[in-house]
Amino acid sequence: MRFLLFTSSLALVATVASQADSVRICPPLTFHLPYPPLPCPVVNGKPIQLAIQGPDNNKHTVNCWGKALHPELRYVKDAIALFRSAIDNVNHNFPAAIRAEKHSCTETYCVHKTSVRFCNDGDQPRTMPLQNIMDSTITISKDCVSDYEGKKVAGGVVDHSDKWSVVVQKDDKC
Going through the chain in order, the beta strands assigned E by DSSP cover 2-7, 10-16, 42-43, 46-53, 59-63, 97-100, 104-111, 114-120, 126-129, 145-148, 151-154, 156-160, 164-170
> What's the pLDDT at 152?
94
> What's the pLDDT at 92?
72
SS3 85: helix
The sign of the torsion formed by the CA atoms of 78, 126, 37, 22 equals positive
> What's the pLDDT at 57?
53
Task: Give every residue of the chain whose pLDDT is below 50, as ranges.
Answer: 1-43, 46-56
Q: Give the bridge partners for 59, in sequence order.
A: 53
Going through 64-103 in order, the beta strands assigned E by DSSP cover 97-100
> What's the pLDDT at 95?
74
> What's the pLDDT at 43?
47
Question: CA-CA distance, 116 to 95, in Å (whole number)?
Answer: 19
